[in-house]
Structure 1
Amino acid sequence: MRQAIHHLSVQARTRGFVEFTGEVRRFVAEQGIRTGLLTLFCRHTSASLLIQENADPSVRRDLERYFATLAPEDATRYEHDTEGPDDMPAHLRTALTQVQLSVPVEHGRMVLGTWQGLYLFEHRQHPQPRDIVLHLLGE
């Protein structure tokens, strides 16, 4: 059994989705592990990770609108606003999604569906670089 770990920095310009599938594909290919499991972990509480449709951008726009409805920016709704009006809604959106993904690796490649991509789902208006930890275990 072998393993590899890598920190990937992903930067969003504003709230929304940033696809980083290509960077992860390169990492997996460079490791020479044919069969295994890749774990991705976002080290933040105001951004999350999703495997999502990567062919039609309207899917991501609809998701953004849906989460804005679930956790709107509204100063009258939340006590926590240390970093601004988008602070607590960002934490709620992260709680409703996920910060960790698992993707099988077969024949040295991630086993993703035809229209699936890996995304950082940024929940802040003025984001900082996000650290995504990639951990690959296999043989």
Structure 2
Amino acid sequence: MFSQRFGFILLLVIVLIPGISLASKGKYNYISAADLETRLTAELPTNIVDIQVEGEFSQHHIKGATPTYAYPVKSDADRTKLNTIVEQLKANTDPVIIVCPRGAGGAKRTYDHLFQQGISAERLLILEKGQEGWACAPLTENR
């Protein structure tokens, strides 16, 4: 009896744990580099929030991006850097594209922080693969 119960519990853990991690991944909205390139080429209104550190931003960034230098968005000081653009973002209803070095943890923390500051989730998008995955030279500055 104990071994059957243990087997059943083990099976539940194996089945449910991957589902939980997938659900947390589904919390964020993403945009591909190709879709962002199309948007920018069409000159559609877009807020681009770049969280790269200053040195990386000065080496390469998407044209029109607003630098915050907030990466890795782990401290109050990092979040304060993001707070400087919140009112600007609230002043319009355009999509907010979050650009970080690789489109991972820093971007998710930025998304969460901006959402907590009142920016709707429908407007927030993380650039897939971040600046590292951006290959559009005509829309890149300082590269």
TM-score, length of structure 1 as denominator length: 0.26
- Structure with the larger strand share: 1
- Structure with the larger helix share: 2
TM-score, length of structure 2 as denominator length: 0.25
Q: Which one has more relative contact order, counting CA pairs under 8 Å at least 6 apart?
A: 1
